[in-house]
Amino acid sequence: MKFLVTGGRGFIGSHFVELVLQKGHQVVDIDFMTYASNKKLPWDSNPNYEFIRDDISKIKHLPPCDIIVNFAAESHVDNSINSSEIFFESNTKGVYNILELLRGKVYSRPLFVHISTDEVYGDIRDANFTEEDKLNPGNPYSASKAAAEMYVLAYNKTYNIDYLITRSSNNYGERQYLEKLVPQIIHCLKNNKKIPIHGDGSYIRDWIYVKDNVEAIYHLINIGAKNETFNISANNHMTNLEVVEEISKWYKIENYLDKINFVQNRMGQDIRYSIDCTKLKKTGWQPKFTKGIHKF
């Protein structure tokens, strides 16, 4: 198969590109090369890999392909609170532009795989969101992703554009940009700096190793899933403090609380994210890492 991947130089996108290249597929990668993009990657000279630097909100043409997988997005919630316009441009308008280009393809339309987030549901205290629950985004980032999903559904109904939407829980792993929690903790511990933690550190997220996430996406494509939405998670809930404690053990640090600088909560702080991925597991996929933060 030939994949058109957007945002393939970013964190999750680069792991997906790596996986499909290993599987022998061709990849055309469109990436705007923002601050979080990887300037060099091990497969840059792979003959099955082609890189195009462009902005998905402004591209005028889609290269021929069998599958489009849209990872391109601004994703840091704090940045969306401080400056939301770029999130609308990339996360919402970018998807709209791709859909418009797909609408113009009368023959051999590729499947559009849109990568979303568990944050579109908002927070939940005691239960787990399923794919049937309503979206209730709580910050400009998640609102821009939820709006993009609405465009995908509308273009499916109006123009018969086939889609697949995945909503994953918090990803971590290699090549993640420093602003995110796990790489921030690692950086601070390695450099004897205080780790900034919002509030009292009690906020809960469901953590999934990035390679589990991209393997789930590839699995869904392989089984021919379309015109459906799937949650991807590992049922691996941890408070931010527990994440700090876990990673501190990698470096044999016992008094992890001494390494923390508790900072002011972000505006609109969500308490707990949790999604149920029973629907996905019924297709035969299982995460490999389901306890704690897998050392990488």
From 18, 31, 55, 118, the catalytic residue: 118
| Residue 80 φ then ψ, to 5° | -65, -30
Active site residue 118: yes
Residue that is written with structure tokens 């009690």 in the block = 202
Max Cα–Cα distance, the chain, nearest Å: 62
Q: Annotated catalytic residue: which of 49, 141, 155, 218?
A: 141
Q: How far, in Å, CA of 211 to CA of 264, rounded?
A: 32
Assign residue 171 a region (left: φ > 0; alpha: ψ between -120 and 50; beta: otherwise).
beta
133 is catalytic: no
Among residues 119, 215, 242, 245, which one is catalytic? 119
Which DSSP string do the residues of 230-256 spell out, in sequence order? EEE----EEEHHHHHHHHHHHTT-S-G
The C-alpha atoms of residue 138 and residue 160 are separated, in whole angstroms, by: 30
Catalytic residues: 118-119, 141
